[in-house]
Chains A and B, each alone.
Chain A
């Protein structure tokens, strides 16, 4: 028992219910067989855009820094071709 205290071990089952559990965050684009960022794939791009049509920051979506760069470029290209809207005013 004393040894256990030394290693500060808390089993996983104990941690699971706590709200401060450190869940592993991962980038959705840098995994194996993850989707390729492309300006023609609007269904995928719409997931990273808010209700108003703004790009969602990477601290919320957990996209890595380099991939967020590609993503924002792809969204801007899709907007230019009128595949996506700059502003979504449908709810007015």
Chain B
């Protein structure tokens, strides 16, 4: 088991109920692969510094995950099938940071 960080960008057109269901299905996909979510954080709507597809804004979601490395491939495949996720990143870390992150602190 290794520690990973994940950031998902969701399209700005969808409503909050849809956003929650996307996040829930993502957490379900992780738990199916015998991983677990340690913390989540919502960064809200942010301006993108360049256009992605047709969007100028996006909803950011941040996850701290503990999962085996080979299962990340399945998660990537799952995300590519999801329409509402514009972009994603997985980063391997040695140790999870304490929340809140600096990006979230700055805005408030």
Contact = CB atoms under 8 A, between A and B. Distances in A.
Which label, helix, strand, loop or mixed, suits the secondary structure of the B interface? strand
Interface in B24-65: 46, 48-50, 52, 58, 60, 62
B101 interface: yes
Interface residues of A, number: 15
Main SS class of interface, A: loop
Those 7 A-B pairs whose CB atoms lie nearest each other, nearest first: A85-B49, A82-B48, A41-B102, A40-B103, A40-B101, A82-B49, A85-B50
Interface of B: 7, 9, 46, 48-50, 52, 58, 60, 62, 87, 89, 91, 97, 101-103, 106
Interface of A: 38-44, 77, 80-86
